[in-house]
Structure 1
Amino acid sequence: MTRTPISQDPSDRPVIVVGAGPVGTTAAARLAADGVPVVLVEAEPEPRADWRASTFHAATLELLEGIGVTARMHEEGLVVPVYHFRDRRDGLVAEFDFRLLADETRYPYRLQLNQQHLVRMVFERLRGADGVELLFGSTVTGVANDGDGVTATVETPDGTRVLRGSHLIGADGPRSTVRRSLGIDFEGYTYPERFLIVSTTTDLSELIPGLAHVNYVADPHQWLFVLRTPESWRVVYPVSPDEPVEEATAPDRLQRHLQGVAPNPAGYPIVDRQAYNVHQRVASTFRVGNILIAGDAAHINSPIGGVGLNSGIHDVMDAAARIVRIRAGDGDPEAELAAYDAVRRRVAVEYVQADTQRNTERLKETEESRRRAAQDEMRATAADPERARAYMRRVSLLESVRRFGIGTPPAHLEGAAV
């Protein structure tokens, strides 16, 4: 890695990226690929192994081609063209096949790959890249706009450093120091129940006939999200807020829940478990001056739909394109960054938040007539190729990308009614 010299000219300074999860590392890689110097700051001493997000949609795979990792992701990932909407009592309700979108995208499917593998792949590229400084084991304590640039105060293993950059991207998660330092409100709510992810090496498709590799299972008492990744099958289900995490994740309790999904006399080997709070929140703004926030720092949502990570990657791809134009003198700084805020916040509200909230409420619906109406609607959508196509364009985020683009110049956004 190289340590970027600090220039007095903001256009020569690096872009500071805070947070080295999948969104932050992608931001750094996209900027570096365009010849922009980057300082990537991460509190952990090395990239984290986090199993939470595991779905990459078509629009995201198209974007990741630009940093040269899509082919490798396919070497390690699992291609899933079909997913099911099921009912725990009634079985299969509707089947959706992304291959209906084969004329629109090179990737008419979901790619299942745990997010830490993307981080590993991108980190390996960053580690040897010119103009990239990696500050791991370092904590940002404050950020500020500074004239035409930005500053970030960082506690490193070698002491305090004040970084100066042209721009800063905060991709430091839902408890974002960047967002809090700027005083940005994080509006929304938290679900009362926790969500619990359990991963097992048992092949659930051998225990549940006809099970797809991705399944949303409605139930008024305990809905399920069941999916396969290359390493394991994962089951996501709600845990009562009154149940302590220690009890919910105890081995006997996990076994009891999995046996309720599919009886297995041999028992379930468990390779990972995580219980976490789930929120629907969107920041009041995604930008203050030359400082932008992205991914979970800007919007967090239910995992039902697998779009949170994807939309975060779209955020930073959009931000990077605008920063590159600004630094090259090809874009008006105020108009470009205002467009980032308007577009990405609108996508977060109208697509990510709206769809994940609707998906979650559909799975947990308790009133019988509404449950039946939701099933009828899903059946009708799946049975009509045009409706199914429109539905899958939306849930794969192709619709939002085709509508707004990624990094579309402000003058070209007027038709999208931003």
Structure 2
Amino acid sequence: MSEAKIMNRWCAVMGAILIQLALGAIYAWSVFTPSLIEAGWTKFQTQAVFSIGLVSFALSMVWAGKKITRWGPMRLSFMSALVLGAGYALAGLFGGTNFTALCIFIGVIGGAGIGLGYVVPIAVGMRWFPDKKGFITGLAVAGFGFGAMAWVKLAGAWGNMIETMGLSATFSLYGLLFCLIITAGAFWMRFPPEGWMPEGYHPETNSDAKNDAEEKNFSTTQMLRTPQFYLIFVTFTFSAAAGLMSIGLMKLYPMEALQGTGYSAEEASAVAGTAMAVFFSLANGLGRIIWGSMSDKLGRKRSILLMTAIQGATLLAFTSMAGNALLLYAGATIIGFNFGGNFALFPTITADTFGTKSVGQNYPYIFLAYGAGGIGGPLLGGTLGDINNFPLAFTICGTCCFIGAAAILMLKNPREILNANPEVS
């Protein structure tokens, strides 16, 4: 293939961001819950749809990882567009406020659509940017975080779509928009030609790229037989659980703590809401880009070690920070920043450890740790919250982050794994 026919690699970045902006739909679910509660839903029912969506997301991502090399990233992206769009459109046409219907259309079908598409921009971006894996992965997944904020604001404060159009029409319109945006990005979802390298990037001579020059690619079966997989999995589980627990309690706990230091209920609600909606959310998006970029310089293992250790220390200190507005904002920023870093660092350490070409197949299994953390963290926070012991939830999760840091510290260099597994090709 001639150089003139090779796609500009920055087109892949544009496509990745477009796709992830739409896939961030899953975190926009909270904007619909007040209307559903007004329609007679319980809080448990609203969270059940969200939980079903997360499980469907994680499981379908594993299936998509198995198909990406056979079907190609563009085809999987088109499937993601159709399934996610159909899920929300059907929710609008036939679901409305029916609990069972929304569990199926938004939870199962919508979640599957997100899982089909999520791994594609990550796998494609790493192939086009072997010299900037962390930065490009962070940039792509930042679209997921910022997209959620955009969809929330469009349906609520910015666009007032729910108020002016109603819930059903908003679901249907979102389905159409998701389908169109992902389809637009899908046209750029293609791998570079075999053996292609960016200009100026020479793994055989560039000391920063030696791992790429010596890189071997593990099959999923081979990866699952290594202790390194489980060390990464444990670290991701604890780090994700801590962040998701914090999301669930970031408003409730500070409201209680602030009122204990003299704030009125209204003042406490406003301060806690700002901590979550502004400081945590913005830091979550920026953390994906900045941690990803930093890891290109510091290395993935060192970056994850720092991220989890800082997160652990912040969570342990948070019980002393939640009752002071300025300290609360600082704590929310650090926790959100580190939580966002998970989504840039764990795909890239998967690629560094088990091979860039096989990251599309292998990362979905690592990502199951996020599902495990999504069950354990929020349930822990909710259970301890019901007995009025929010501080213990943060203390436990902070301790778990330090355990995760210890686990990643034991991770061997990829070349050591290869020497121990000479059959890997």
User: Which TM-score bucket, shorter chain as reference?
Assistant: under 0.3
**Between Structure 1 and Structure 2, which shows a larger proportion of helix residues?**
2
TM-score calculated relative to the size of structure 1: 0.27
TM-score by length of 2: 0.27
Which structure has more strand as a fraction of its residues? 1
Q: Relative contact order (alpha carbons < 8 A, sep ≥ 6): 1 or 2 greater?
A: 2
